[in-house]
Amino acid sequence: MHINFNILQLYNQSAPTVKASLWFVTCSVIQKGLSFITVPVFTSIMPEEEYGYFSLFQSWLSVILIFSTLNLHYQVYNNGALKFQEHTNEYVTSLIGLSWMASCILFSFFCLFYRMWTPVTGMPLHWMLYMFLECTMMMPYNIFLCRERMSNSYKAVVITTLISVFSATLFGLYMVATNNGTADSRLLAIVICDTIIGIVIFFVLFPYGKTLYNKTIWKYSLRLAVPLLPHYLANVILTSLGSIMIARYCGGEKLALYTVAYSLGMIMQIVVNSVNAAINPWIYRTMNKRNYSELKKGTSILYVIMAVLTILPTLVGTAYIHLFMKATYYEAESLIGVIAASSYFTYVYSILLVYELYFEKTRYTSIASVIAAVGNIVFNYCGIQIWGYQAVAYVTLICYILLALVHYYFLNKICIENQLFISRIIDIKLVTTIGIFVCILAFVISSFVEILNFRS
């Protein structure tokens, strides 16, 4: 009782940023935890090929999302939120309007060339409608989350996120179970739930902003967003191109194996993303105050925490597959550790990226991402031809390491331009030491798992 009281007292005395971060991370854990629990359920109901097609849809969705929303709910929002902080409501609805305009333009383009859809993507034509509904109607939800996080308001975020996660999961299970485990039924369930949530949130937000078009806001947002498009596209190539290439060269069954390994290996990535979303406003505010020592100390602690979190999937992923999934998925176990190591380097480069965006050096951001993406394309193509689909996991790790190195080079250049020593905000020795340790441990565990599977 005394311990519980102390914990509660410590929580009540915490700063708003700390409270908000805790709740954002908790939400993400619940979200990913539910997905973690339901993966074996979906894979047992859905044939491997159908589960592979569902993964293929998600990979293409991440590409379409960039151009249909300009990813305004990512880094661009934070910059604009500070610039237009006296007109937050108008800024929020104007971003929704701008993203919808981009969606309409892109959808019109696809309608003109709809015959190319299936040959290029390998998916049925009506899935194009699913994608654009998902991109368009989830934008109010995404912008709403950005607004609440920027203001450290977590209650509405928690409630909305839980409704979204549970509704899509439960309805998805019902649709899949009653429609012979097809990927189409799984996707339809997600689109219906997300569309309803998006409409409700839009009608909550619009009466406050009362506009979808503001010339000043649109112009400023486009100035930041357009140069970042190569960065976003390159990032999608890093995360999704491997899946698309596996589907093309190895088939849907191999894609299903890789998808399971990737889902388990990157299970902590959603925590990483949530921590990023929570601390990015803090980084902006701390940089404004030039409190570099606090910044370096806070991010260094987070590097250690993220390293521990990336090791966990490596340790529990194999047991999870053996306990809850079919034997056909055992082959994926040896890839989990390598993929998990990648998530540490995604956190490293994402922190470097925040500093670049704070200084509004979006050109450097895109160049770094394009370099890593080109390497990803070349390495994946060659690797799959020689070693099969397993090569994608190793290429992913290599390219994220490359991305972190290039971002560090550019950030150092930016710091020199602004008469700031990079060592004041980044502890590069700590980052490098942790990175080497994570890689070695991941390779050792993955090799051990592969040997065990070979003997059995």
Average pLDDT over residues 123-134: 84
**pLDDT tens string 173-227:** 888 888 877 888 888 888 899 899 999 999 998 898 888 998 998 998 888 888 8
pLDDT at position 3, please?
A: 44
**pLDDT tens string 152-164:** 677 777 788 888 8
Q: Give the model's confidence band at 1: pLDDT under 50 very low, under 70 low, under 90 confident, else very high.
A: very low
| pLDDT above 50 for 4 | no
| pLDDT above 80 for 35 | no
Average pLDDT over residues 371-375: 87
| pLDDT above 60 for 91 | yes
More confidently predicted of 304 and 448 = 304
Average pLDDT over residues 28-43: 71
The two structure tokens encoding residue 242? 């491997």
The two structure tokens encoding residue 310? 């990336």
| pLDDT above 70 for 390 | yes
Average pLDDT over residues 98-123: 83
The closest alpha carbon to 389, from 258, 240, 244, belongs to 258
Average pLDDT over residues 166-179: 86
Average pLDDT over residues 414-421: 88
The two structure tokens encoding residue 235? 């990032």
Q: What is the largest CA-CA distance in the chain?
A: 67
Q: Give the model's confidence band at 15: pLDDT under 50 very low, under 70 low, under 90 confident, else very high.
A: low
